[in-house]
Amino acid sequence: MNFDFADEAPKLAMLLYGVVAFVAVVGGLLLLLDAVPARLARRREARLAAAVAAGKVIEPGRRRPRDGLFALFFLLPTVLMLGIGLVVPAIRTLVLSFKNGDSTEWVGLRNYGWMFDRPEIVDILVNTALWVLLVPLLATCIGLIYAVLIDRARLEALAKSLIFLPMAISFVGAGIIWKFVYAFRPAEADQIGLLNQVWVWLGGEPQQWLTNSPLNTLLLIVVMIWIQAGFAMVVLSAAIKAIPTDMIEAARIDGVNAWQLFWRITVPGIRPALIVVVVTISIATLKLFDIVRTMTNGNFNTNVIATEMYNQAFRYGQTGQGSALAVVLFVLVIPIVIYQVRNLRRQREV
């Protein structure tokens, strides 16, 4: 591989522009977010100080009538963007799901019938169920155990960042990395995949991990857990730190052991955070697309709803069938969202 920098100059220049523009825009935004509120705060302080100095009484309720307007001002862009980016497309998808492949004719419920008519639909549903059951559960458990173990340990920050790092990698990047881990070479050749090399050291025959169903789905699930455990760990660790120390001390005085402390104090104490983590990971898992597409593209019985939706709508030109899959996915997410909203509301009432 020889790489001539002079040949690639236009591309490198483009890269440079990109980086510079990114730094300028993001830097500018950060600066704005940093400087403007600080300046406003300073002005308000100055005004208050002047008022106090002048001996005026500051009425806290004076701004009430304008609060509604103020809220609207902040709400409007959000509502507008949600409308354009979420509500309108959702309605359009629903409409398209009742039309044919190129959206020229109404076909009623045919696309939904098609979906449950296909032999591979069982695979898709079973796989999606496996993902939604295993990923939130295992990622949260691993994150929780890790958070408890490293809590107030030496080098806690380092230990945390190690497990949090995978979060910074895109799903596609993670998929490619793990594809190498699962890579296969025949027994007579040198193994380049980590898993197969370990397997061979243990005395096994090299395996084609990604083609052996249903093991391959579990191996893909490992990738998602690898990414999400860091997220769970960070949130849960913060929640654990928020448990009042006097509660823990009181429990200690009552003579609990570590096991009881974990189940009676820590877990109830971080329940809201636990729910948030499980719900967030569940939704992310239902929408899962990139890992499957990068690693197997749904072959070898690893297909999930979102991959199939993309293929139908964008690659095969079957917009109706793709939309129907999207609607089903949407329906599956709704209960989780409702649960989360109710949960938040209950917490606020307490």
Partner 1 sequence: MAVFARPRQALVIAGALGLAISATACGTGDNDGSGKADSPECAAYQKYQGHGGAEVSIYASIRDAEADLLEQSWEQFAECTGIEIDYEGSGEFEAQLQVRVDGGNAPDIAFVPQPGLLSRFAQAGKLKPASAETKAMAEENYAADWLKYSTVAGQFYGAPLGSNVKSFVWYSPKMFQEQGWTVPTTWDDLIKLSDSAAAGGIKPWCVGIESGDATGWPATDWIEDVLLRTQTPEVYDQWTTHGMPFNDQRVVDAVDRAGTILRNEKYVNGGYGGVKSIATTSFQEGGLPILQGECALHRQASFYANQWPADSRVAEDGDVFAFYFPAIDPSKGKPVLGGGEFTVAFDDRPEVQAVQTYLASGEYANSRAKLGNWVSANRKLDVANVANPIDKLSVEILQDESTVFRFDGSDLMPAAVGAGTFWKEMVSWISGKDTKAALDAIESSWPR
30 is a contact residue toward partner 1 (CB under 8 A): yes
Q: Which of 126, 159, 169, 211 is close enough to bind partner 1 by CB under 8 A?
A: 211
For the chain, the distance separating the N- and C-terminal CA atoms, rounded to the nearest angstrom, is 65
156 contacts 148 by C-beta, under 8 angstroms: no
In the complex, the smallest distance separating the C-beta of residue 274 from partner 1, rounded to whole angstroms, is 27
Cα–Cα dist 302/221, whole Å: 10
Cβ–Cβ contacts within 10 Å for residue 197, how many? 16
204 is a contact residue toward partner 1 (CB under 8 A): no
Non-local (6+) Cβ contacts of 156 within 8 A are: 150
Measured from the CB atom, is 128 or 140 closer to partner 1? 128
x-marked contacts with partner 1 along 164-193 as a string, rule CB under 8 A? --------------------xxxx-x----
State CA 307 to chain mean position distance: 17
Q: Return the residues of window 82-141 that contact partner 1 according to CB under 8 A.
A: 101-102, 104, 118-120
210 is a contact residue toward partner 1 (CB under 8 A): yes
Measured from the CB atom, is 96 or 142 closer to partner 1? 96
203 is a contact residue toward partner 1 (CB under 8 A): no
Q: Which of 9, 12, 15, 23 is close enough to bind partner 1 by CB under 8 A?
A: 23
Cα–Cα dist 166/231, whole Å: 9
151 contacts 261 by C-beta, under 8 angstroms: no
Ramachandran class of 317: left when φ > 0, alpha when ψ lies in -120 to 50, beta otherwise: left
24 is a contact residue toward partner 1 (CB under 8 A): yes
Q: Which of 146, 293, 302, 304 is close enough to bind partner 1 by CB under 8 A?
A: 293
In the complex, the smallest distance separating the C-beta of residue 102 from partner 1, rounded to whole angstroms, is 6
x-marked contacts with partner 1 along 302-341 as a string, rule CB under 8 A? --------xxx-xxxxx-----------------------
Range 181-185, long-range pairs (CB < 8 A, 24+ positions): 182/209, 182/210, 182/219, 182/295, 184/208, 184/209, 184/210
Cα–Cα dist 220/208, whole Å: 13
Residues found near partner 1 in the complex (CB under 8 A): 13, 17, 20-21, 23-24, 27-28, 30-31, 33-35, 38, 101-102, 104, 118-120, 184-187, 189, 206, 208, 210-211, 293, 297-300, 310-312, 314-318
